[in-house]
Amino acid sequence: MTQSINQDSMRDLNLKVMLQFLFNHPQTSRIEIANNLNLNKSTISSLYTTLNKQGYISEIGYGDSSVSGGRRPMLIKFNRHYGYTINFELGHHHLRMMINWLTGEKITFNSIPVVGKDIFEILSIMKDKIQSISIPVALHQLLGISIAINGIVDHNHILDSPFIDMQNVDLINELAEFNVPVILENEANLAAIATRDYFTQHKLNHLIALDIHNGIGAGIIINGQLYRGNLSRAGELGRSLFLPFESSNSTIHIEELYSEDAIIKKFGELKHIPHIDRNGFLEYYRADDQIAIQIMNEFTEALVYVLFNINQIFSPELISLQSRIIGEIPELVTTIKQRYTILSNQGMTTKIKISNMIEDAPLYGGASLLAHSLLSLDHYQLQLRL
């Protein structure tokens, strides 16, 4: 019995590593898999049969013969049409939605304004969108749903949602009608996962995605794994406190002053503009409005201190900035790096860069989280594709 269990465990492990290898390579062959995984041809043939029956393999034609001649190898790849996932972000102003193949590739992206709508109206929109989707070439159609939350999420439970009143709505239960796994996760955590799995080829063990939008949060990757902390509260940088001002006994969170929403709101108040969005603020800034410039300078300086403190605590190899304002004004990154170098009084050991996917990193992160889960490869490195 023990021997049978060990054989089953070994076969399961071999299936996982072969599936991982197949997933991570644009194209490969059975002989290449056997050589890289150090498995004999008969084992690979058996595993191939299993994965092929499950629909994971797509044959794409014959490769070249080796220098010694012989049969040309059949080239294969992971079947991108195995199925798709739907990934949402519950934003303060927009509901963002992306459909992805299981490989991570984007099929469609949509941003839907939801200003003034409550969670019930937003949930109705989500259900309508899910029901309207049909992709005929997808072998298994919808495989899973992810939802990025601007708040604290612990083991698929929303503990805090400061920007959207959830009104005790159970999103998992509400979406149960679609009969697929539903994953909830903090948006900054998903941005960090996206950075790890789409862009770094897992060459970096320690990285942080600093998300600066409605609030300020950090997704933290340590030793290649997402770090959530106790009750998944790690990374809530925006909740960090300033020392109370002498004239006030009240405490102030950093994100109340230096999130994107906070600086735009401050600008609107100083200019007596009741309703102004990011684009409006940036128009004033580009037109050399002195108030906009002053606020942007304060924002940049505060961000430098946040980055400095992050580096002192975590010493990551990379900090990826998730900020739409900075993305619109790329020269701010140069200013931030220069100020950081002066502040640290030493050469930069941490790379600071603007994210490659500012608008949709949490959606790509959701696609990655689902791919790991659906393939039962939660602790395996997967290289997803855009």
Q: If you ran DSSP here, which 8-state letter would residue 167 be given? A: T
pLDDT in tens, 19-74: 999 999 999 999 999 999 999 989 999 999 999 999 999 999 988 776 666 678 89
Q: For residues 278 and 294, what is the distance between their CA atoms, to the nearest angstrom?
A: 16
Task: Give the distance from CA 215 to its chain's centroid.
Answer: 17
Contact 191, 322 (CB under 8 A): yes
With CA atoms as reference, report the closest residue to 164 among 127, 126, 119. Answer: 119
Q: If you ran DSSP here, which 8-state letter would residue 91 be given? A: -
pLDDT band for position 348 (cuts 50, 70, 90)? low
Strand, coil or helix: what is 13?
helix
Q: For residues 285 and 283, what is the distance between their CA atoms, to the nearest angstrom?
A: 5
Strand, coil or helix: what is 8?
helix
pLDDT more than 70, % of the chain: 95
Strand, coil or helix: what is 47?
helix
Q: If you ran DSSP here, which 8-state letter would residue 245 be given? A: P
Strand, coil or helix: what is 132?
helix
Domains within the chain, CATH numbers bracketed: 2-78 (1.10.10.10), 84-193 (3.30.420.40), 200-354 (3.30.420.40)
pLDDT in tens, 130-149: 999 999 999 999 999 999 99
Q: Would you state the structure tokens that stand for residue 256, as one six-digit string?
A: 């109340």
The whole-chain average pLDDT of the chain stands at: 92
Average pLDDT for 325-339: 91
Average pLDDT for 91-107: 95
The alpha carbon torsion through 372, 373, 377, 381 (nearest 10 deg) reads 20
| Range list of H helices, the chain | 2-24, 30-37, 41-53, 119-132, 171-174, 187-194, 254-258, 260-271, 278-286, 290-314, 324-328, 331-344, 361-374
Q: Tell me, what's the pLDDT at 248?
A: 60
Q: For residues 133 and 135, what is the distance between their CA atoms, to the nearest angstrom?
A: 7
pLDDT in tens, 82-95: 999 999 999 888 99
Q: For residues 331 and 316, what is the distance between their CA atoms, to the nearest angstrom?
A: 23
Q: Tell me, what's the pLDDT at 67?
A: 61
Residue type, 251: T
With CA atoms as reference, report the closest residue to 220 among 83, 88, 320, 292. Answer: 320
Strand, coil or helix: what is 386?
coil
Q: Tell me, what's the pLDDT at 69?
A: 60
- Name 29's bridge partners: 75
Is pLDDT of 245 > 70? no
- Name 243's bridge partners: none
pLDDT in tens, 260-273: 999 999 999 999 99
Q: Tell me, what's the pLDDT at 244?
A: 63
Average pLDDT for 215-238: 95
pLDDT in tens, 165-195: 999 999 999 999 999 999 999 999 999 999 9
Q: Tell me, what's the pLDDT at 7?
A: 82
Q: Whole-model pTM?
A: 0.94
Between residues 249 and 196, which one has the greater pLDDT? 196
